[in-house]
Structure 1
Amino acid sequence: MAAKNINEEIIEELYSEALVLADDARAAFDLSFNENQSNADDLTRVALSIEGLRTTTRVMHVLAWLLNQRAYFAGELSRQQLERCGTLPEERAADADNLQRLEPETRALIEETERLHARVARLDRDWRATGEEATPVASLQGRIAQAFAIG
Protein backbone atom coordinates (compact mmCIF):
# COMPACT_ATOMS: atom_id res chain seq x y z
CA MET A 1 0.00 0.00 0.00
CA ALA A 2 1.13 3.57 -0.58
CA ALA A 3 2.27 5.77 2.28
CA LYS A 4 -0.48 7.17 4.46
CA ASN A 5 0.14 10.69 3.22
CA ILE A 6 -0.12 9.76 -0.47
CA ASN A 7 -3.55 9.12 -1.91
CA GLU A 8 -5.13 9.35 -5.34
CA GLU A 9 -6.64 12.75 -4.66
CA ILE A 10 -3.26 14.27 -3.77
CA ILE A 11 -1.64 12.68 -6.82
CA GLU A 12 -4.40 13.99 -9.12
CA GLU A 13 -4.14 17.52 -7.69
CA LEU A 14 -0.37 17.53 -8.08
CA TYR A 15 -0.70 16.11 -11.59
CA SER A 16 -3.08 18.92 -12.60
CA GLU A 17 -0.74 21.50 -11.10
CA ALA A 18 2.26 20.00 -12.91
CA LEU A 19 0.41 20.01 -16.24
CA VAL A 20 -0.39 23.71 -15.86
CA LEU A 21 3.24 24.45 -14.95
CA ALA A 22 4.45 22.44 -17.94
CA ASP A 23 2.26 24.50 -20.24
CA ASP A 24 3.40 27.74 -18.59
CA ALA A 25 7.04 26.70 -18.92
CA ARG A 26 6.57 25.86 -22.58
CA ALA A 27 5.12 29.30 -23.20
CA ALA A 28 7.75 31.12 -21.13
CA PHE A 29 10.73 29.40 -22.70
CA ASP A 30 9.55 29.17 -26.30
CA LEU A 31 12.39 31.22 -27.76
CA SER A 32 10.90 31.41 -31.25
CA PHE A 33 7.84 33.30 -29.94
CA ASN A 34 9.39 35.14 -27.02
CA GLU A 35 9.20 38.73 -28.27
CA ASN A 36 10.33 40.19 -24.94
CA GLN A 37 13.70 38.48 -25.30
CA SER A 38 14.40 39.63 -28.88
CA ASN A 39 16.33 42.66 -27.56
CA ALA A 40 18.18 40.64 -24.93
CA ASP A 41 21.93 40.21 -24.98
CA ASP A 42 23.59 36.87 -25.68
CA LEU A 43 24.16 36.06 -22.00
CA THR A 44 20.48 36.60 -21.25
CA ARG A 45 19.45 34.32 -24.13
CA VAL A 46 21.89 31.67 -22.87
CA ALA A 47 20.52 32.03 -19.33
CA LEU A 48 16.98 31.69 -20.69
CA SER A 49 17.95 28.55 -22.60
CA ILE A 50 19.73 26.94 -19.65
CA GLU A 51 17.00 27.71 -17.14
CA GLY A 52 14.35 26.72 -19.65
CA LEU A 53 15.94 23.30 -20.01
CA ARG A 54 16.31 22.89 -16.24
CA THR A 55 12.74 23.99 -15.62
CA THR A 56 11.13 21.79 -18.26
CA THR A 57 13.25 18.83 -17.16
CA ARG A 58 12.22 19.41 -13.54
CA VAL A 59 8.54 19.50 -14.49
CA MET A 60 8.85 16.41 -16.71
CA HIS A 61 10.51 14.48 -13.87
CA VAL A 62 7.63 15.44 -11.58
CA LEU A 63 5.08 14.45 -14.22
CA ALA A 64 6.79 11.09 -14.78
CA TRP A 65 6.77 10.41 -11.03
CA LEU A 66 3.10 11.34 -10.80
CA LEU A 67 2.22 9.18 -13.81
CA ASN A 68 3.93 6.23 -12.14
CA GLN A 69 1.92 6.88 -8.97
CA ARG A 70 -1.29 7.08 -10.99
CA ALA A 71 -0.43 3.77 -12.67
CA TYR A 72 0.23 2.21 -9.26
CA PHE A 73 -3.12 3.37 -7.90
CA ALA A 74 -4.82 2.07 -11.06
CA GLY A 75 -3.23 -1.36 -10.52
CA GLU A 76 -1.08 -1.05 -13.64
CA LEU A 77 2.19 -1.18 -11.67
CA SER A 78 3.12 -3.36 -8.73
CA ARG A 79 4.84 -1.87 -5.69
CA GLN A 80 8.07 -3.57 -6.77
CA GLN A 81 7.86 -2.00 -10.24
CA LEU A 82 7.13 1.38 -8.71
CA GLU A 83 10.08 1.10 -6.32
CA ARG A 84 12.40 0.15 -9.17
CA CYS A 85 11.24 2.66 -11.79
CA GLY A 86 9.40 5.35 -9.90
CA THR A 87 12.18 7.30 -8.21
CA LEU A 88 12.06 11.07 -8.54
CA PRO A 89 15.44 12.31 -9.80
CA GLU A 90 17.36 14.80 -7.68
CA GLU A 91 16.64 18.48 -8.14
CA ARG A 92 18.96 20.64 -10.20
CA ALA A 93 18.34 24.08 -8.80
CA ALA A 94 18.41 27.18 -10.94
CA ASP A 95 21.64 29.13 -11.15
CA ALA A 96 21.45 32.41 -9.23
CA ASP A 97 23.46 34.30 -11.87
CA ASN A 98 21.12 33.11 -14.61
CA LEU A 99 18.05 34.03 -12.58
CA GLN A 100 19.29 37.63 -12.22
CA ARG A 101 19.17 37.97 -16.01
CA LEU A 102 15.57 36.80 -16.35
CA GLU A 103 12.32 38.69 -16.03
CA PRO A 104 10.51 38.54 -12.68
CA GLU A 105 7.63 36.49 -14.16
CA THR A 106 10.07 33.89 -15.49
CA ARG A 107 11.89 33.74 -12.15
CA ALA A 108 8.57 33.27 -10.36
CA LEU A 109 7.68 30.38 -12.68
CA ILE A 110 11.05 28.71 -12.06
CA GLU A 111 10.63 29.10 -8.30
CA GLU A 112 7.13 27.62 -8.52
CA THR A 113 8.46 24.55 -10.33
CA GLU A 114 11.19 24.20 -7.69
CA ARG A 115 8.57 24.30 -4.92
CA LEU A 116 6.48 21.67 -6.71
CA HIS A 117 9.54 19.43 -7.11
CA ALA A 118 10.36 19.85 -3.41
CA ARG A 119 6.81 18.87 -2.40
CA VAL A 120 6.86 15.79 -4.61
CA ALA A 121 10.36 14.89 -3.40
CA ARG A 122 9.06 14.93 0.20
CA LEU A 123 6.23 12.59 -0.80
CA ASP A 124 8.69 10.31 -2.58
CA ARG A 125 11.01 10.17 0.46
CA ASP A 126 8.09 9.49 2.81
CA TRP A 127 6.70 6.81 0.52
CA ARG A 128 10.06 5.09 0.22
CA ALA A 129 10.61 5.29 3.99
CA THR A 130 7.32 3.48 4.65
CA GLY A 131 8.22 0.90 2.03
CA GLU A 132 11.53 0.11 3.69
CA GLU A 133 9.86 -0.42 7.03
CA ALA A 134 7.40 -2.83 5.45
CA THR A 135 10.05 -5.40 4.54
CA PRO A 136 10.83 -8.11 7.11
CA VAL A 137 14.58 -7.57 6.80
CA ALA A 138 14.28 -3.81 7.41
CA SER A 139 12.00 -4.47 10.37
CA LEU A 140 14.53 -6.90 11.87
CA GLN A 141 17.38 -4.47 11.25
CA GLY A 142 15.39 -1.74 13.01
CA ARG A 143 14.79 -3.97 16.04
CA ILE A 144 18.49 -4.92 16.20
CA ALA A 145 19.50 -1.25 15.97
CA GLN A 146 17.10 -0.37 18.79
CA ALA A 147 18.35 -3.26 20.95
CA PHE A 148 21.94 -2.10 20.59
CA ALA A 149 21.07 1.63 20.51
CA ILE A 150 22.63 2.03 17.08
CA GLY A 151 21.98 5.17 15.00
Structure 2
Amino acid sequence: MIDLKLVSNVGGDDKMGGTQPEAVAIDFFARFTNSEQFDKTFKEGMGLVEETANYLDGPGRVDARTLDRTGAIAYATESMRLTTRLMQMASWLLLQRAVAAGELKSNEIQREKLRINLGDIGEGNVIKGAEQLPQGLLALVEHSLRLLERIRTLDAMLKGRETATPTPVASPVSAQISMLEQAFNQNAFSLGGR
Protein backbone atom coordinates (compact mmCIF):
# COMPACT_ATOMS: atom_id res chain seq x y z
CA MET A 1 0.00 0.00 0.00
CA ILE A 2 1.28 3.44 -0.86
CA ASP A 3 0.85 5.79 2.05
CA LEU A 4 2.03 9.11 3.30
CA LYS A 5 1.76 10.14 6.93
CA LEU A 6 -0.21 13.29 7.55
CA VAL A 7 -0.38 14.87 10.99
CA SER A 8 -3.85 15.61 12.33
CA ASN A 9 -5.14 17.15 15.54
CA VAL A 10 -6.18 13.90 17.25
CA GLY A 11 -4.23 11.99 19.84
CA GLY A 12 -2.93 12.28 23.37
CA ASP A 13 -2.44 15.31 25.57
CA ASP A 14 0.56 17.54 25.15
CA LYS A 15 2.37 19.69 27.79
CA MET A 16 -0.15 22.52 27.56
CA GLY A 17 -3.26 20.37 28.11
CA GLY A 18 -4.22 20.28 24.41
CA THR A 19 -4.08 17.43 21.98
CA GLN A 20 -0.94 16.07 20.44
CA PRO A 21 -0.83 15.55 16.67
CA GLU A 22 -1.10 11.93 15.51
CA ALA A 23 0.04 10.48 12.17
CA VAL A 24 -2.74 9.27 9.90
CA ALA A 25 -2.05 7.12 6.79
CA ILE A 26 -3.56 8.22 3.49
CA ASP A 27 -3.64 5.70 0.63
CA PHE A 28 -2.67 7.81 -2.37
CA PHE A 29 -2.99 4.86 -4.76
CA ALA A 30 -6.65 4.43 -3.80
CA ARG A 31 -7.23 8.16 -4.12
CA PHE A 32 -5.55 8.18 -7.54
CA THR A 33 -7.49 5.23 -8.96
CA ASN A 34 -10.73 6.76 -7.70
CA SER A 35 -9.85 10.18 -9.09
CA GLU A 36 -11.41 11.99 -12.02
CA GLN A 37 -7.98 12.05 -13.72
CA PHE A 38 -7.65 8.26 -13.65
CA ASP A 39 -11.27 7.76 -14.71
CA LYS A 40 -10.79 10.12 -17.66
CA THR A 41 -7.56 8.39 -18.69
CA PHE A 42 -9.15 4.95 -18.33
CA LYS A 43 -12.16 5.91 -20.49
CA GLU A 44 -9.93 7.56 -23.07
CA GLY A 45 -7.68 4.50 -23.28
CA MET A 46 -10.52 2.01 -23.61
CA GLY A 47 -12.27 4.30 -26.08
CA LEU A 48 -9.12 4.52 -28.19
CA VAL A 49 -8.85 0.72 -28.24
CA GLU A 50 -12.42 0.50 -29.54
CA GLU A 51 -11.95 3.34 -32.03
CA THR A 52 -8.80 1.70 -33.39
CA ALA A 53 -10.46 -1.69 -33.75
CA ASN A 54 -13.38 -0.10 -35.61
CA TYR A 55 -11.01 1.77 -37.93
CA LEU A 56 -8.77 -1.21 -38.68
CA ASP A 57 -11.76 -3.49 -39.37
CA GLY A 58 -13.64 -0.91 -41.45
CA PRO A 59 -12.27 2.23 -43.10
CA GLY A 60 -8.68 1.10 -42.53
CA ARG A 61 -9.17 -1.96 -44.74
CA VAL A 62 -10.48 0.27 -47.50
CA ASP A 63 -7.57 2.70 -47.04
CA ALA A 64 -5.02 -0.14 -47.09
CA ARG A 65 -6.28 -1.42 -50.46
CA THR A 66 -5.26 1.85 -52.13
CA LEU A 67 -1.59 1.50 -51.10
CA ASP A 68 1.22 0.03 -53.17
CA ARG A 69 3.34 -2.83 -51.81
CA THR A 70 5.71 -0.55 -49.84
CA GLY A 71 2.80 1.44 -48.41
CA ALA A 72 0.95 -1.76 -47.51
CA ILE A 73 3.97 -3.05 -45.58
CA ALA A 74 4.26 0.31 -43.80
CA TYR A 75 0.53 0.15 -42.99
CA ALA A 76 0.82 -3.37 -41.58
CA THR A 77 3.89 -2.40 -39.53
CA GLU A 78 2.32 0.77 -38.12
CA SER A 79 -0.94 -1.04 -37.38
CA MET A 80 0.96 -3.69 -35.45
CA ARG A 81 2.89 -1.04 -33.49
CA LEU A 82 -0.36 0.74 -32.70
CA THR A 83 -2.21 -2.36 -31.51
CA THR A 84 0.77 -3.48 -29.41
CA ARG A 85 0.97 -0.03 -27.80
CA LEU A 86 -2.76 -0.03 -27.09
CA MET A 87 -2.66 -3.54 -25.61
CA GLN A 88 0.11 -2.52 -23.19
CA MET A 89 -1.65 0.70 -22.19
CA ALA A 90 -4.99 -1.09 -21.72
CA SER A 91 -3.25 -3.76 -19.63
CA TRP A 92 -1.74 -1.05 -17.40
CA LEU A 93 -5.09 0.70 -16.97
CA LEU A 94 -6.93 -2.55 -16.22
CA LEU A 95 -4.23 -3.60 -13.74
CA GLN A 96 -4.52 -0.31 -11.82
CA ARG A 97 -8.28 -0.71 -11.64
CA ALA A 98 -8.02 -4.37 -10.51
CA VAL A 99 -5.47 -3.51 -7.81
CA ALA A 100 -7.67 -0.68 -6.53
CA ALA A 101 -10.66 -3.03 -6.39
CA GLY A 102 -8.62 -5.61 -4.44
CA GLU A 103 -9.12 -8.26 -7.12
CA LEU A 104 -5.48 -9.40 -7.13
CA LYS A 105 -3.14 -10.79 -4.51
CA SER A 106 0.30 -9.25 -4.00
CA ASN A 107 2.15 -11.97 -5.96
CA GLU A 108 -0.37 -11.68 -8.84
CA ILE A 109 0.14 -7.92 -8.97
CA GLN A 110 3.91 -8.30 -9.28
CA ARG A 111 3.56 -10.98 -11.98
CA GLU A 112 1.18 -8.79 -13.98
CA LYS A 113 3.42 -5.73 -13.63
CA LEU A 114 6.27 -7.71 -15.19
CA ARG A 115 4.14 -8.44 -18.25
CA ILE A 116 3.48 -4.77 -18.96
CA ASN A 117 6.15 -2.85 -20.84
CA LEU A 118 5.51 0.83 -21.40
CA GLY A 119 9.12 1.48 -22.40
CA ASP A 120 9.53 0.00 -25.87
CA ILE A 121 6.16 0.80 -27.41
CA GLY A 122 6.74 4.38 -28.46
CA GLU A 123 6.99 5.85 -31.92
CA GLY A 124 9.69 3.56 -33.27
CA ASN A 125 11.87 4.11 -36.32
CA VAL A 126 10.60 5.77 -39.47
CA ILE A 127 9.59 3.06 -41.93
CA LYS A 128 9.83 3.06 -45.71
CA GLY A 129 6.46 3.93 -47.24
CA ALA A 130 5.28 5.88 -44.16
CA GLU A 131 4.44 8.87 -46.37
CA GLN A 132 1.60 6.77 -47.85
CA LEU A 133 -0.08 6.03 -44.52
CA PRO A 134 -3.71 7.19 -44.42
CA GLN A 135 -4.73 10.10 -42.20
CA GLY A 136 -7.09 7.90 -40.19
CA LEU A 137 -4.26 5.64 -39.09
CA LEU A 138 -1.88 8.55 -38.44
CA ALA A 139 -4.47 10.29 -36.24
CA LEU A 140 -4.87 7.12 -34.14
CA VAL A 141 -1.10 6.73 -33.84
CA GLU A 142 -0.69 10.35 -32.67
CA HIS A 143 -3.50 10.01 -30.15
CA SER A 144 -1.99 6.79 -28.78
CA LEU A 145 1.44 8.40 -28.40
CA ARG A 146 0.00 11.37 -26.44
CA LEU A 147 -1.93 8.99 -24.19
CA LEU A 148 1.15 6.81 -23.73
CA GLU A 149 3.12 9.80 -22.43
CA ARG A 150 0.41 10.57 -19.87
CA ILE A 151 0.29 6.95 -18.76
CA ARG A 152 4.08 6.81 -18.46
CA THR A 153 3.96 9.93 -16.28
CA LEU A 154 1.27 8.41 -14.07
CA ASP A 155 3.20 5.14 -13.85
CA ALA A 156 6.37 6.98 -12.81
CA MET A 157 4.41 8.88 -10.14
CA LEU A 158 2.96 5.65 -8.76
CA LYS A 159 6.35 3.93 -8.75
CA GLY A 160 7.83 6.94 -6.97
CA ARG A 161 5.12 6.75 -4.30
CA GLU A 162 5.69 3.00 -3.88
CA THR A 163 9.38 3.53 -3.11
CA ALA A 164 9.05 6.77 -1.17
CA THR A 165 9.53 6.66 2.58
CA PRO A 166 6.45 8.03 4.30
CA THR A 167 7.19 11.48 5.68
CA PRO A 168 5.24 13.06 8.50
CA VAL A 169 3.86 16.43 7.48
CA ALA A 170 2.92 18.78 10.31
CA SER A 171 -0.29 20.73 10.03
CA PRO A 172 0.01 24.54 10.09
CA VAL A 173 -1.91 24.63 13.38
CA SER A 174 0.48 22.27 15.18
CA ALA A 175 3.45 24.25 13.81
CA GLN A 176 2.00 27.46 15.27
CA ILE A 177 1.32 25.77 18.63
CA SER A 178 4.90 24.54 18.73
CA MET A 179 6.20 28.07 18.09
CA LEU A 180 3.97 29.46 20.84
CA GLU A 181 5.21 26.79 23.28
CA GLN A 182 8.81 27.73 22.53
CA ALA A 183 8.08 31.42 22.98
CA PHE A 184 6.31 30.85 26.33
CA ASN A 185 9.08 28.56 27.56
CA GLN A 186 11.75 31.16 26.71
CA ASN A 187 9.74 33.91 28.46
CA ALA A 188 9.29 31.71 31.54
CA PHE A 189 13.08 31.33 31.83
CA SER A 190 13.74 35.03 31.42
CA LEU A 191 10.97 36.00 33.90
CA GLY A 192 12.08 33.40 36.46
CA GLY A 193 15.67 34.70 36.42
CA ARG A 194 14.72 38.24 37.49
Q: Does 1:120 align with 2:151?
A: yes
The alpha carbon displacement at 1:126 in A equals 0.9
From 30, 46, 49, give the equivalent of 1:22.
Answer: 49
Residue 80 of structure 2 aligns to which amino acid in structure 1?
A: L
Change (3 A) 1:60 1:67: same
User: Could you tell me which amino acid in structure 2 is paired with residue 67 of structure 1?
Assistant: L
Distance 1:84 1:2 in 2: 22
Aligned residue runs from structure 1 range 90-105, under 5 A? 90=119, 91-97=121-127, 99-105=130-136
Letter of the 1:92 counterpart: G
Q: Is the 8 A contact 2:32 2:38 kept in 1?
A: yes
Aligned CA RMSD, in angstroms, stands at: 2.7
Q: Which runs of 4+ in 1 moved over 6 A?
A: none
Q: Which runs of 5+ in 2 are unaligned?
A: 1-26, 167-194
Distance 2:65 2:38 in 1: 38
Whether the 8 Å CA contact 2:123–2:145 is kept in 1: the answer is yes
Whether the 8 Å contact between 1:11 and 1:70 is mirrored in structure 2 is: no
Taking the aligned partners of 1:5 and 1:95, their CA distance within structure 2 comes to 38
1:3 Cα offset (Å): 4.6
Report the CA distance between 1:117 and its aligned residue: 0.9
**5+ residue gaps, structure 1:** 136-151
Distance 1:26 1:59 in 2: 10
Q: Displacement of 1:71 after TM fit? A: 0.8
* SS across alignment from 2:32: coil
- In proportion to residue count, which structure has more helix? 1
Gap change, CA 1:6 and 1:79, over 3 Å in 2: farther
Which residue in 2 is equivalent to 1:57?
Answer: 84
**2:44 pairs with 1:13:** no
TM-score normalized by the length of structure 2: 0.59
Q: Which amino acid aligns with 2:83?
A: T
Q: How does 1:49-88 map to 2 (within 5 A)?
A: 49-77=76-104, 81-86=108-113, 88=116
Greater fraction of residues in strand: 2
Instruction: Rate the CA distance shift 1:66–1:124 in 2: closer, same or farther, 3 A.
Output: same
Number of matched residues? 135
Moved more, 37-46 or 93-102: 93-102
